[in-house]
């Protein structure tokens, strides 16, 4: 009798769980999810900027990469590291050996005093990697509201539409009180209670609409280009986006250049195989049933 009661109780419990699961699944499948501000007003990266390295026959614009490096050095390096890139890699931007040595020496990198063994800072050498602006992750988090700024070495590979994402993000800071989509939808009209969280900045190209990084490019002429190019905010964002694409994929152009001979070889091999097949099977006549 006790065993029968236990079986009935178990079956009843199972039916209740199954009913709750089916009901929840049906509700989730049929009910419309409540729209949120970040769902409606989050924008995909703009693609209105063209880069020389795009397309099957793209190439690096060396002048642009050098300008982008200067933007990184004078603006982005205050918070963001580039720890997968060594100073010697700057040879890919057209710098000579002497220029690379001078550039490396203009940076302070962590070192060790050979006499005392204490941690010190010393001028960089071509074999050194770009230093982090913070001594460790704890210091980076403490200086940035609890979240360390990401390393930028591979940032364009880590984000969808990476190059355009970086450009859009840098130029995308807006006032939420006046922000509206191209179709006229206003953020404040659709979501009157929306507020930017304290310590963050409104940017519709960031997934949560609010980003902890203050606008890094604040005014034209913030960086003085050596080649005399007008340093507008859009130009600086374009140049540093191109530079970060190079840091993430320094072999991008060489890979494209290698691809064309490979495609040509495959085409030739296909033609040779087709002619060989015709030659081998030429004496063989089709059977008539």
Residue partners of 280: CB distance under 8 A and separation at least 6 = none
> Among residues 132, 130, 152, which one has the least CA distance to residue 141?
132
Residue 236 annotated as binding site: no
Residues forming a β-bridge with 109: 122
- Cα separation, 204 vs 192, in Å, equals 17
Report residue 76: phi and psi, to 5°. Answer: -70, -30
Tokens of 158: 């880590």
CB 84 within 8 A of CB 150: no
Residue 1 annotated as binding site: no
Residue 80 annotated as binding site: yes
Residue 79 annotated as binding site: yes
- Cα separation, 35 vs 266, in Å, equals 51
Binding residues: 76, 79-80, 213
Binding residues for heme c: 76, 79-80, 213
């Amino acid at each position: 009798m006790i065993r029968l009661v236990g079986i009935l109780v178990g079956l009843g419990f199972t039916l209740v769980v199954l009913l709750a699961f089916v009901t929840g699944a049906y509700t989730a499948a049929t009910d419309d999810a409540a729209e949120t501000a970040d769902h409606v007003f989050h924008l995909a990266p703009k693609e209105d900027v063209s880069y020389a390295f795009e397309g099957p026959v793209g190439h690096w614009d060396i002048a642009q990469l050098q300008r982008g490096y200067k933007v990184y050095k004078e603006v982005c390096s205050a918070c963001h590291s580039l720890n997968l890139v060594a100073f010697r890699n700057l040879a890919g931007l057209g710098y000579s050996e002497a220029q690379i040595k001078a550039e490396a020496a203009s940076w302070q990198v962590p070192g060790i005093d050979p006499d005392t063994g204490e941690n010190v800072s010393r001028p960089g050498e071509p074999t050194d990697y770009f230093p982090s602006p913070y001594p460790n992750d704890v210091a980076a988090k403490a200086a940035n509201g609890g979240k360390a700024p990401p390393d930028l070495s591979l940032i364009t590979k880590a984000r969808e539409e990476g190059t355009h994402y970086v450009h859009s993000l840098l130029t995308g800071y807006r006032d939420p009180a006046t922000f509206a989509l191209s179709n006229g939808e206003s953020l404040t009209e659709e979501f009157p209670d929306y507020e930017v969280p304290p310590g963050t900045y409104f940017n519709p190209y960031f997934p949560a609409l609010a980003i902890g990084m203050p606008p890094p490019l604040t005014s034209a002429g913030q960086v003085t280009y050596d080649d005399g190019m007008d340093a507008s905010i859009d130009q600086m964002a374009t140049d540093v986006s191109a530079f970060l694409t190079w840091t993430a994929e320094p072999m991008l152009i060489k890979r494209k250049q290698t691809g064309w001979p490979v495609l040509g070889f495959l085409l030739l091999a296909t033609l040779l195989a087709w002619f060989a097949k015709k030659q081998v099977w030429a004496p063989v006549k089709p059977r008539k049933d």
